[in-house]
Amino acid sequence: MNRLSLKTENQKVTILTGNKILNKINFKNFINGNDICILSNSKIAKLYLQQLKKKLNNFKINTFLIPDGEKYKSVNILNKIHDHLIKNKFDRHLTIIALGGGVIGDLAGLAADTFLRGVNLIHIPTTLLAQVDSSIGGKTGVNHRLGKNLIGTFKHPSAIIIDINFLKTLPDKQFKSGLAEVIKYGAISNRSFLNWVNKNSNKILNQNTDSLLKIINFSIKAKIKIVELDERESGVRAYLNFGHTFGHAIESAKNYKGILHGEAISLGMILAAAISMEKTNLSLEDFNLIEETIRKIKLPTNLPKNLSKSKIIKYLQYDKKKKLGRNNFILLKSVGSCCVSNTITTKYLIDILDSFRN
């Protein structure tokens, strides 16, 4: 078992990673009281709830399950979680455990931050995306009918338990979607890591244990480094959005149907890297390394045929990270070195989109 830690303004978050580690965790190290509420969804509960409950048999355990899906990351479900916690008369010594992917993690984080002005939280992420990204850094949130993640807070857990054994049941498409974020960490922070992913794509896709642990530990360390420098995203944390400006616009333009987050982010990274070649002198060699790695991981490299560029441009206008009417793009000077640009015009974006048609 590997132990990492994230030092935030007010607390230390312990991050444990490994294979089949759930049964080896001493939860008493991260829990003060006796009451636990496990938050999960029906699909994940079927696979892992009994195993977790057995491990926690010294505590008083309560569970709250929600239906599976992004559409349940809502204020309505958050209210239902609050109703459940209040009806069960939990006090401030409660620990909420999030057992699931990013949807469960974001909801549980917000519930733990708002119930009685804050109770203890533990993340047990079960998707690759949640293990390398959403469980780390403290962002919580639910969607509003006018946009994604518009309601949220920052709430760090006391511990994050990252067991790659959960990934065995994860659908292949979801696994690859998480790999897009792994490629992102390489692109923004470390050329030799990105080269390694490129050369070892088969081992990674086959979920070789050592390879999985290597990419997960690298990604977490990369995220810790950035979050420790800029917890509230007033500076360098924005680099984590590499590929996300276009990616979010593509997801919105597709109405979040038929494209996973990581697939959209892969296209966003290629577009941002293409812009970087012209605007910040990214070399063709670096562009090719990013594009080839995405291709080898079997993520998309061309825009979907049925997606009009005017729709993508329309959704770029709605980007919540826009400043003074312009989109902020994270560009690369080279693999491992980022900058922020808000000088990209709509006309330029249209031209770039034209060059990425199938």
Ligand X SMILES: NC(=O)c1ccc[n+]([C@@H]2O[C@H](COP(=O)([O-])OP(=O)(O)OC[C@H]3O[C@@H](n4cnc5c(N)ncnc54)[C@H](O)[C@@H]3O)[C@@H](O)[C@H]2O)c1
The b-or-e profile of 10-43 (16+ CB within 10 A means b, else e) is eeebbbbbbeebbeebebeebbeeebbbbbbbeb
Q: Say if residues 2 and 10 touch (Cβ distance below 8 Å).
A: no
- Secondary structure of 297-330 as H, E, C letters: CCCCCCCCCCCCHHHHHHHHHCCCCCECCECCEE
Q: Is 216 in the site for ligand X (CB under 6 A)?
A: no
Stretch in the footprint of ligand X (CB under 6 A) among 4-12, 100-108, 283-291, 296-304: 100-108
Q: Could you give the CA distance from residue 93 to residue 201 in angstroms, rounded to a whole number?
A: 45
| Catalytic positions | 117, 139, 181, 223, 233, 237, 241, 244, 248, 261
Residue 70 or residue 291: which is nearer to ligand X going by CB?
70
Q: Is 301 in the site for ligand X (CB under 6 A)?
A: no
Structure tokens at 355: 């060059």
Stretch in the footprint of ligand X (CB under 6 A) among 66-74, 81-89, 113-121, 285-293: 66-74
One-letter amino acid at 153 equals T
Residue 70 or residue 228: which is nearer to ligand X going by CB?
70
Full DSSP string of 35-54: EEEEEEEHHHHHHHHHHHHH
Structure tokens at 233: 């995203």
Residue 49 or residue 352: which is nearer to ligand X going by CB?
49
Q: Find the binder of ligand X among 13, 17, 101, 186 (CB under 6 A).
A: 101
Q: Is 41 in the site for ligand X (CB under 6 A)?
A: yes
Q: Is 241 in the site for ligand X (CB under 6 A)?
A: no
Rg (CA), the chain: 20
Total binding residues for ligand X by CB under 6 A? 27
Residue 35 or residue 106: which is nearer to ligand X going by CB?
106
Q: Say if residues 290 and 273 touch (Cβ distance below 8 Å).
A: yes
Strand-pair partners of 334: 337
Q: Is 337 in the site for ligand X (CB under 6 A)?
A: no
Query: Minimum distance from CB of 171 to ligand X (Å)?
Result: 6
- Report 167-206 residues binding ligand X (CB under 6 A): 169-170, 174
Residue 73 or residue 254: which is nearer to ligand X going by CB?
73
- Report 140-169 residues binding ligand X (CB under 6 A): 149, 166, 169
Q: Could you give the CA distance from residue 11 to residue 231 in angstroms, rounded to a whole number?
A: 12
Q: Is 228 in the site for ligand X (CB under 6 A)?
A: no
Q: Is 129 in the site for ligand X (CB under 6 A)?
A: yes
Stretch in the footprint of ligand X (CB under 6 A) among 124-132, 182-190, 266-274, 277-285: 124-132
Residues that bind ligand X (CB under 6 A): 41, 43-44, 47, 68, 70, 73, 100-104, 106, 126-127, 129-130, 133-134, 137, 139, 149, 166, 169-170, 174, 261
